[in-house]
């Protein structure tokens, strides 16, 4: 039997099973009309994911410490992004145009912004396109394209939107022949820091560590420049796996793994690439990473706060987490900035959150902990529910 | 227009059948095709081919659910189109990853040849999927029927990426066991 036999046979499974799977999106739970549940699933394949501001929260620890004030068992369950296909007018410009054609080549958005300081200069203009599922029309717009410093424009380029520059990835790019080719095309030693990794035992993820050996590891990998690119044999080999984030490459928390059986595998270009660097080099790199590494906690994919919605103001909302605290005096009032269309549309288009409700806010920017706790870069707001075990969840 | 009326149009060989199919299920089929092909113009062509195939199939067919009928055709046409497109190329995106994962469901002792009895396999998959929890079933179908990425499933189902991955792995292991027990591997 081949995997394709299973894939083909799956095509014939009963309609009710497929329909049930399609209708299980959170959009349905938001009591949108039935067609919107479908639109929601389409949103996930057609529209880009919400644009993530590439800033690492400087106060991950502050936020963790805040949690120690909570009653035992309290745990804010990070809700997934709302799977809603927003009407065209409620989309950011960046969400509207996920595809573009430049110099006859197709690119797809990575939905991540890049600072102008990392760009080399304008190299031309492109035709960006997006699909409005509500009117079933393709919308087009001409936008300027910029080269990214150190990065081959045939693989990645930046497009200028009103909101800023966004990284686009070449569609169906040819696979690099060697590790050296990929490293050279993307200037990986400069654009990709190898800092946080976890131990992998098969599919199991072990402890997380932080290392400062990035330069040394890239140096060692330069010695493997001739390593050929291959199709993945297995995703689940033992070794270590770096969580990699790069503004230049438009990626956040992708994986780059070194396996004990001698491979470097990565999904940083979306496709799974595997380079056969040999067991000896892999062993050396794993030792370099582990030497002097300190234990750390993995960063969450999305940061959240939860609490009672106290006020809906002009450009902000106030969320008070006293209800979750052991002691009333420990409660914090967060000022969540709401200029961003992504949070405004939760408030204004979806509606449903009223003063006094328990809400969960996801944010991808900063939580500033000064005299006031200010949440910047909030991207979604949903009604939460306090479970009997103390967890705050976003209802199914 | 109701399914029965659209089917009637096909049986009457009225070209309005295609127009009505497009109106009722065009959006759905486009989503299915796009999920697999990740290219708008390819998806558009797959959907157009779907109507042609449906035109050739009805009559004699009278599908119970047009949505399921069209969805299945679109999926298969998209898979074929992708296979052709990727022939000779390495990589292959989400589909290649999904196939790699499904390969884990095949017992080591299997001879690796094409499996001829697709109907028996389909029936086994139907019965296997019905025994899964709704959550595990949803994640499995989204991954291997719609070929959605792990990230997309995580977002759609409000789960973490690691939860989706571990759920898929458990389901694949169970599938391998079920297929082995039912004698699919020699």
A259-272 pLDDT, tens digit each: 998 999 888 887 67
CA nearest neighbour of B165 among A205, A188, A346: A205
Question: Binning pLDDT at 50, 70 and 90, where does residue B151 land?
Answer: confident
A51-81+302-393 to CATH, choices 2.40.50, 1.10.3720, 2.60.40, 1.10.260:
2.40.50
Question: Binning pLDDT at 50, 70 and 90, where does residue A236 land?
Answer: low
Option in B100, B115, B126 nearest A232 (CB) = B100
Architecture of domain A179-296: Sandwich (2.60)
ipTM: 0.85
- Partner-chain contact A25 B157, CB within 8 Å: yes
More confident residue, B164 or A142: A142
Structure confidence at residue A74 (pLDDT): 65
Helices (H) and strands (E) in chain A, counts: 11, 24
Using CA atoms of B78, B80, B84, B86 in order, give the dihedral in degrees to the nearest 10.
Answer: 60
Question: Binning pLDDT at 50, 70 and 90, where does residue A390 land?
Answer: low
Q: Which residues contact A289 (CB under 8 A, 6 or more apart)?
A: A194, A197, A209, A211, A213, A217, A240, A242, A258
Q: What is the pTM of this model?
A: 0.56
Place of tokens 């190898």: A194
Q: Which residues contact B128 (CB under 8 A, 6 or more apart)?
A: B174, B175, B178, B179
Buried residues in B137-151 as b, exposed as e (16+ CB within 10 A): bbbbbbbbbbbbbbe
Architecture of domain B3-86: Orthogonal Bundle (1.10)
What chain A residue is nearest to B150 in terms of C-alpha separation?
Answer: A44
Q: What is the DSSP letter of A350?
A: I
Section B178-183 average pLDDT: 85
User: Tens of pLDDT along A279-313?
Assistant: 999 999 999 999 989 998 877 767 788 899 999 99
Domain with CATH 1.10.10.10 in chain B: 93-181
Q: With contacts defined as CB-CB under 8 Å, which chain B residues touch A1?
A: 106, 110, 112-115, 121, 184-185
More confident residue, A308 or A42: A308
Q: With contacts defined as CB-CB under 8 Å, which chain A residues touch B161?
A: 301
Assess contact for A150 and A246: CB atoms under 8 A: no
Q: Which two tokens stand for residue A320?
A: 């008070």
Tell me: pLDDT of A48 over 50: no
Spell out the CATH class of B93-181.
mainly alpha
Q: How far apart are CA B157 and CA A28, in angstroms?
A: 11
| Chain center to CA of A181 | 26
CA nearest neighbour of A88 among A286, A307, A341, A263: A341
| Chain center to CA of B71 | 8
The strand pair at A164-170 and A105-114 is best described as antiparallel
Q: With contacts defined as CB-CB under 8 Å, which chain B residues touch A172?
A: 89
Domain with CATH 1.10.1740.10 in chain B: 3-86
Lowest mean pLDDT among A40-49, A117-126, A231-240, B3-12: A40-49
Q: With contacts defined as CB-CB under 8 Å, which chain B residues touch A38?
A: 27-28, 31
Percentage, residues of chain A above pLDDT 70: 80
- Partner-chain contact B156 A25, CB within 8 Å: yes
Question: Binning pLDDT at 50, 70 and 90, where does residue A151 land?
Answer: very high
Would you call B28 an interface residue with chain A, using a CB distance cutoff of 8 Å? yes
Task: Give contacts of B 140-169 with A, CB under 8 A.
Answer: 141-142, 144-146, 148, 151-152, 154-162, 165-166, 169
Would you call A15 an interface residue with chain B, using a CB distance cutoff of 8 Å? yes
Q: What residue spans define the domains of chain A?
A: 7-36+85-170, 51-81+302-393, 179-296
Lowest mean pLDDT among A346-360, B17-31, B64-78, B111-125: B111-125
Q: With contacts defined as CB-CB under 8 Å, which chain A residues touch B170?
A: none
Q: Which two tokens stand for residue A327?
A: 């002691």
- Partner-chain contact A232 B145, CB within 8 Å: no
């Amino acid at each position: 039997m081949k995997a394709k036999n299973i894939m083909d046979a799956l095509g014939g499974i009963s309609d009710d099973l497929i329909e049930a799977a399609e209708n299980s999106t959170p959009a349905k739970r938001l009591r949108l009309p039935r067609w919107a549940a479908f639109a929601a699933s389409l949103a996930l394949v057609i529209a880009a994911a919400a644009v993530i501001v590439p800033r690492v929260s400087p106060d991950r620890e502050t936020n963790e410490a805040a949690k120690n004030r909570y009653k035992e068992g309290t745990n804010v369950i990070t809700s997934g992004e709302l799977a809603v296909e927003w009407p065209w007018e409620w989309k950011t410009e960046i969400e509207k145009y996920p595809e573009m054609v430049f110099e006859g080549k197709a690119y797809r958005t990575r939905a991540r912004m890049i600072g102008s300081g990392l760009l080399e200069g304008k190299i031309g203009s492109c035709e960006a396109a997006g699909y409005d599922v509500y009117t079933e029309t393709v919308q087009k717009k001409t936008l300027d394209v910029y080269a990214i410093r150190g990065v081959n424009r045939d693989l990645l380029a930046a497009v200028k939107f009103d909101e800023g520059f966004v990284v686009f990835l070449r569609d169906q790019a040819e696979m690099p022949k060697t590790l050296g080719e990929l490293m050279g095309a993307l200037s990986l030693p400069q654009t990709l820091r190898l800092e946080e990794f976890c131990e992998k035992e098969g599919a199991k993820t072990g402890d997380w560590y932080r290392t400062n050996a990035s330069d040394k590891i890239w140096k060692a990998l330069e010695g493997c420049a001739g390593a050929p690119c291959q199709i993945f044999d297995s995703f689940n080999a033992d070794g270590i796996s770096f969580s990699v984030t790069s503004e230049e490459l438009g990626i956040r928390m992708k994986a780059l793994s070194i396996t004990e059986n001698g491979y470097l595998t990565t999904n940083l270009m979306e496709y799974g690439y595997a380079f056969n660097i040999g067991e000896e080099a892999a062993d050396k790199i794993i030792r370099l990473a582990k030497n002097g590494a300190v234990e750390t906690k993995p960063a969450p994919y999305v940061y959240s706060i939860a609490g009672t919605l106290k006020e809906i103001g002009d450009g902000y909302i106030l969320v008070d987490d006293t209800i979750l605290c052991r002691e009333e005096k420990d409660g914090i009032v967060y000022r969540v900035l709401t200029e961003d269309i992504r949070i405004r549309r939760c408030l204004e288009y979806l509606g449903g959150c009223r003063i006094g409700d328990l809400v969960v806010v996801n944010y991808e920017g900063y939580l500033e902990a000064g005299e006031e706790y200010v949440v910047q870069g909030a991207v979604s707001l949903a009604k939460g529910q306090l479970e009997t075990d103390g967890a705050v969840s976003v209802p199914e | 227009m109701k399914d029965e009326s659209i089917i009637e149009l096909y049986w009457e060989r009225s070209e309005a059948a295609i127009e009505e199919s497009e109106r009722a299920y065009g959006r759905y089929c486009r989503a299915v095709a796009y999920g697999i092909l990740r290219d708008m113009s390819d998806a558009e062509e797959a959907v157009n081919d779907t109507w042609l195939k449906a035109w050739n199939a009805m009559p004699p067919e009278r599908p119970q659910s047009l949505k399921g009928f069209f969805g299945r055709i679109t999926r298969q046409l998209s898979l074929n189109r992708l296979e052709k497109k990727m022939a000779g190329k390495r990589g292959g995106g989400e589909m290649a990853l999904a196939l790699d994962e499904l390969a884990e469901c095949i017992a080591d002792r299997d001879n690796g040849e094409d499996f001829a009895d697709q109907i028996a396999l389909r029936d086994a998959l139907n019965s296997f999927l019905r025994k899964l929890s709704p959550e595990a079933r949803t994640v499995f179908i989204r991954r291997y029927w719609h070929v959605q990425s792990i990230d997309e499933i995580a977002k759609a189902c409000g789960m973490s990426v690691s939860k989706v991955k571990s759920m898929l792995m458990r389901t694949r292991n169970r599938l391998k066991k079920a297929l082995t027990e039912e004698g699919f591997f020699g």
